[in-house]
Chains A and B, each alone.
Chain A
């Protein structure tokens, strides 16, 4: 274990039938404390040092929160360019799951070369969108080379088309029903098709289905109002909305897609819906990047939300793993309070969507239970390492007898 900590998941079962779940965390939760006493400029210098995988989403949320607290007006063009960087990061994170994790579930070799190529795009997009490649600062300025940015989008799309969709990305984007999906799966041996076929063949499409709903979109003022009523330390560790746990994953963003909506009506928030949701979001990101680039000159709709209230700034950004919230309070132009609520806090809440999903598992053996649990955790995707421990309560009773 490293200082980054991990999530500890204890799953009790009887011969593969889940009987109880406990989730604990060793993740450090005081990181935002280093921001206390800093100016907004210093905050924005510090945030990129603290976070890695979701660095763009974290830095953008911090910038939006700082701007809101300072009463600086939104800049639609700048925000579209920033959203492009968050989208590139989201694509990379989804590709990580698909290229490195999914093959392992079906006995194939991970494609590290393609992922290594994807990692290089972040710096290229920053260079083609922002002056000196520096985004997410109060004094950052756009310096867009549209031709080169478009070329990068084309190259990114070609890379995922080859490495993930076996050249059939365009066909995949046309899918709107499960029947069409089955045909697509029959006709190709792309890497994700292997995993999806595996889930269907094991009859695991609905595995993990549970009643924890996706968090509805919240007005920033409303969210801020609730947070002001809460003990913020407790809320940051175990967030809820009106006393209930909610899911904040990529599924929140994909339920409006016809293919995902159709599957959701049949399998709820089960495994196949989650896996496909990731694939669908990834497939459309190059398209979305083109839209954002084209619209930068057309005063686009704001992609993220922030609001100001007496030196308080709150921002909501859709990061790869789900909703990311930054809230800060300035007093005399320095940070008096700073809170970061990452999607993992909602999704791996002790009573949250992963806990409830694991409780629903009914496998034929403890080996299958382990595999189902790993697939479900991977699909919801914590941002830190996790340790899954299975205990057969029947054996435990026998052992204690």
Chain B
């Protein structure tokens, strides 16, 4: 079946697939003209004597789409003629494209990875997971049937998540209005986004300001649209999400509250099951938390089932909240 017979429009995936094949097969790379005039999906529209601006734009978009999938599409400067765009060559080096030979997964590991992918059922991460699973299936390992079924789900409901995630990927500075917990006026922040972290069920942005000071923002308190400033930044040393998690954990560990709970109540059962909770000798619960204002909201929900003993600022915050709710609902 020679491809010349296909005069109908070539589907996008066939053009992308042919481009990947052509660039994997070439040692020295292909110039843009060689690609547009010979590769399936482009050559059908190539004008040997005229202007191929549309086709060139299509090629630019295709390159982005392919790179987004983790395919290392390289540009190589022509030796002896650097800076001449017409002579740039494109290739996909096999070693950087193929999964290293020592990376393989057992049936057990495949089962766990299937679950890990299932966690993302919303937003762009669900597409990433779906594609990761296809690549995993490619290795031909069959997953074990799990003993107990799991349906895990991490939600990505904050409107700021997707634009921040895209900016992170492009290492683009972002700007947004942020209402800090406990403050009544929002302020505009301009930061380098470095990682998105879910901690205690809430999404956080870990970022650096223009002086390189790390900041953590709660996504649900980003109250404007997220815009990019047009500036990009160089990648930072170190695993940023690990640093971010470590900072959040440090804050969590350093904040300790003592509360009395009504025995047998909802507060007793649920706060007792919180991570890191210790029952003190007095019968009080020793609890950890990240932010006094957010934790005060949570404790206020338990009404008379909870009495905050310390620290004083948490106690005051809970009292203020209960009084506010009572006042807002007074008849």
Q: Do A and B bind each other?
A: no
Residues of A within 8 A of B (CB): none
